[in-house]
Chains A and B, each alone.
Chain A
């Protein structure tokens, strides 16, 4: 792959790929590493017919393989990374409230089955139904149903978590809803 092709590929897909991986992994540094590896593998290809779905599929597989190999180490590193992030970098809007929302969102996302979760995350990054089907080895016709199920379950899980938080905050009282 030539340099100009590399630059085009990178400028088109690096940001959405990193965001997809960050949402999937919950760790920005790890997401960047996986994205770099995915691009490196793309560079070794002479040509890619469907480059976006190829990149997302490779990144997904890299995450899956790495997670299988080093699940325990990853958890440890994730804790360290979070501690480091808390001590070094605090985004202006990452308040306790938004952090709490992010934690609930992650919990809701993790409650989805893997296929639904990945399809939803890929769709959020702009992949069309054909690309999602290619990356996840689904039929194109089933992507709509998969996304509908994923969105509904995500919203329901999040709502359930939030209502549980509300009940706890109310101390189990008879707050009028």
Chain B
């Protein structure tokens, strides 16, 4: 966890900030961060890196800002997923029409063989021949063509259907397998009921192969068209989701990203921050949640929503500190919300009210410096604790040293976040 100089290593600090350490390890890190100034600086730097990387990654989201997320933005996607699931799990051998057509082809083949070997003296009618030929398969066919939607008691399941591996199929009534005649009759009845062409097939078996082939082809075509239609509907649904209401679909993402960042930032704060917050702004203090209301710049007119930012303040240089040292000390402000309320007590109409959550004794206000820069001030009861900070609303999360050159003005790094 620590190096040979008992300082925290970077991986441990990030794991701590991410809440990935055990309570004991966290306590150890917290103690070190409190006792070692260099460790505290490393923690602050890591905190800045966490915030900066989140902000950089959030700029990859091509999502409109300031829009209210939809409630069920993913419903269409879920429906499309279900459709794809249904299409992907359906198999051609589960299709009743294909099974019937295949059975007819098979029956026709058997009939043809029987007719050839029996010769012209056979007294059986074509229908009887067909029934005889299908006898071994009669129960299987009956089980297949009888769908589960047909009411049946559990006891009605036949041994034939079990033998055929169609446990979900039920026969209409139990039939003894030892009596072949009823079985043949039942098979012929089922086949006759299952296809309007069956009587023609039984009457003229020589025509059967062609008819059955046509039926099979039609069944395949029908199945293909059904599948294609299903896929088309699925794609249409997805397309509608993306094109017709793309903004709506993107909203949950924005909400999720922003709220997640907010939650992560809050979690980090909660895990690190002591119970008592600093009473006022200043070097080493946490801004907490600053709520600001005000729209001054033209950019705000284009963005009518209340905006919130996470601010990081560069600590003011202390005596004896080098500039390099100063750059490393970064103070994190959790979130800043910009409101739209003017300050009647001020004659200058360019100032707007700002409120800090957790800083009830401080009155905040802000004004637009230019189209992209905001100045935030605290009017604390203690004049010495007044804070003057400037940040860019289009900030990139990186230092803006030119903003902090004026007397008493500190530059802040702003990261836009979801308002609490």
Residues B11-35 near A (CB distance < 8 A):
11-15, 18, 20
Residues B63-92 near A (CB distance < 8 A):
63-67, 74, 77-78, 80-82, 84-85, 88
Q: Let me know if A148 is at the binding interface, CB within 8 A.
A: yes
Q: Which residues of B contact A121 (CB under 8 A)?
A: 57
Q: Are A14 and B62 in contact (CB under 8 A)?
A: no
Closest to B405 in A: A176
Choose from A23, A29, A97 the contact partner of B60 (Cβ within 8 Å).
A23
Q: What sequence of 0s and 1s flags, for each residue 1-35 of chain A, a beta carbon within 8 Å of any chain B beta carbon?
A: 00100110011001110110011001011001000
Bound form: Cα–Cα A158–B247 in Å: 28
Closest to A29 in B: B242
A172 CB → nearest B CB, Å: 18
Bound form: Cα–Cα A129–B15 in Å: 8
Q: Which residues of B contact A123 (CB under 8 A)?
A: 18
Bound form: Cα–Cα A150–B88 in Å: 39
Q: What sequence of 0s and 1s flags, for each residue 378-405 of chain B, a beta carbon within 8 Å of any chain A beta carbon?
A: 0000000000000000101110011000
Choose from A19, A105, A146 the contact partner of B257 (Cβ within 8 Å).
A19
Bound form: Cα–Cα A36–B257 in Å: 20
Q: Are B60 and A102 in contact (CB under 8 A)?
A: yes
Q: Are B60 and A158 in contact (CB under 8 A)?
A: no
Q: Let me know if A93 is at the binding interface, CB within 8 A.
A: yes
Q: Are A155 and B52 in contact (CB under 8 A)?
A: yes
Q: Are B57 and A124 in contact (CB under 8 A)?
A: yes
How many residues of A are in contact with the other chain, CB < 8 A?
Answer: 61
Residue from B81, B252, B302, B397 having most chain A Cβ neighbours under 10 A: B81
B240 CB → nearest A CB, Å: 13
Q: Are B60 and A155 in contact (CB under 8 A)?
A: no
A105 CB → nearest B CB, Å: 5
Q: Let me know if B50 is at the binding interface, CB within 8 A.
A: yes
Q: Let me know if A98 is at the binding interface, CB within 8 A.
A: yes
Q: Are B64 and A93 in contact (CB under 8 A)?
A: yes
Closest to B416 in A: A93
B414 CB → nearest A CB, Å: 13
Q: Which residues of A contact B56 (CB under 8 A)?
A: 105, 108-109, 154-155, 158
Bound form: Cα–Cα A102–B63 in Å: 11
Bound form: Cα–Cα A142–B85 in Å: 38
Q: Let me know if B95 is at the binding interface, CB within 8 A.
A: no
Choose from B77, B256, B303, B402 the contact partner of A16 (Cβ within 8 Å).
B256
How many residues of B are in contact with the other chain, CB < 8 A?
Answer: 55
Q: Are B49 and A92 in contact (CB under 8 A)?
A: no
Q: What sequence of 0s and 1s flags, for each residue 82-113 of chain A, a beta carbon within 8 Å of any chain B beta carbon?
A: 00010011011110011001100110110000
Choose from A3, A88, A89, A125 the contact partner of B260 (Cβ within 8 Å).
A125
Q: Are B303 and A93 in contact (CB under 8 A)?
A: yes
Bound form: Cα–Cα A150–B59 in Å: 17
B418 CB → nearest A CB, Å: 14
Q: Let me know if A40 is at the binding interface, CB within 8 A.
A: yes
Q: Which residues of A contact B85 (CB under 8 A)?
A: 6, 40, 43
Closest 8 A-B residue pairs measured CB to CB? A145-B11, A144-B15, A144-B11, A91-B64, A148-B10, A129-B20, A151-B53, A148-B14
**Sample of 28 A–B contacts (CB below 8 Å):** A11-B74, A14-B78, A15-B253, A15-B256, A19-B256, A26-B60, A32-B238, A36-B80, A93-B64, A93-B303, A94-B62, A102-B60, A105-B57, A109-B57, A120-B57, A126-B264, A143-B15, A144-B20, A151-B49, A151-B52, A154-B53, A155-B49, A155-B52, A155-B56, A158-B52, A159-B398, A162-B398, A177-B402
Q: A6-B81, A7-B78, A26-B60 are in contact. List 6 more A-B contacts (CB 8 A).
A: A23-B57, A28-B250, A36-B81, A124-B260, A155-B49, A155-B56
Which residues in B have some Cβ–Cβ distance to A below 8 Å?
9-15, 18, 20, 46, 49-50, 52-54, 56-57, 59-67, 74, 77-78, 80-82, 84-85, 88, 238, 242-243, 246-247, 250, 252-253, 256-257, 260, 264, 302-303, 394, 396-398, 401-402
